[in-house]
């Protein structure tokens, strides 16, 4: 693949992804309030979760909550924009021409 066509493909991936992501960000409505959110953020919840499942359960719950928050409401648009930029960069990285000497016959 020619160098200029690689850059054009990467630019199209980045521009389309960011356009879609920013449109979602601008048009998304905020998430509805979770009635259990206050309890899930309390020390009592962490203590009960740790008693039942240990520290790994607390870590897993926090990790799951953090990842899930990337895919709701306006944050989803920013996630899509970031992922499209990472995809464009990965495309450029993995399709680059390898330097080095050609094999001799």
75 Cα distance to chain centroid: 10
Query: What pLDDT was estimated at residue 56?
Result: 92
Domain boundaries, the chain: 1-31+74-97, 33-71
Model pTM score = 0.75
Distances (CA, A) of 23 to 10, 38, 70, 89: 20, 31, 16, 22
Give the burial string for 31-46 (b: 16+ CB within 10 Å, else e): eeeeeeeeeeeeeeeb
Overall residue count recorded for the chain in this entry: 105
Q: Kindly give the confidence (pLDDT) of every residue in the chain, 105 residues in length, as a single tens digit, with 9 standing for 90 and above.
A: 677 899 999 999 999 999 999 999 999 988 787 787 788 888 898 899 899 999 999 899 899 989 988 998 899 999 999 999 999 999 999 998 876 566 665
């Amino acid at each position: 693949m020619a160098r200029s066509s690689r850059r054009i493909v990467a630019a199209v991936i980045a521009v389309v992804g960011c356009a879609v992501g920013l449109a979602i960000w601008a048009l998304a409505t905020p998430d509805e309030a979770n009635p259990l959110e206050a309890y899930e953020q309390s020390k009592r919840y962490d203590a009960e979760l740790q008693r039942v499942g240990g520290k790994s359960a607390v870590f897993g719950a926090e990790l799951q909550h953090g990842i899930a928050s990337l895919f709701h409401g306006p944050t989803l648009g920013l996630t899509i924009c970031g992922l499209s930029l990472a995809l464009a960069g990965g495309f450029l990285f993995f399709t680059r021409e390898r330097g080095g000497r050609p094999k001799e016959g």
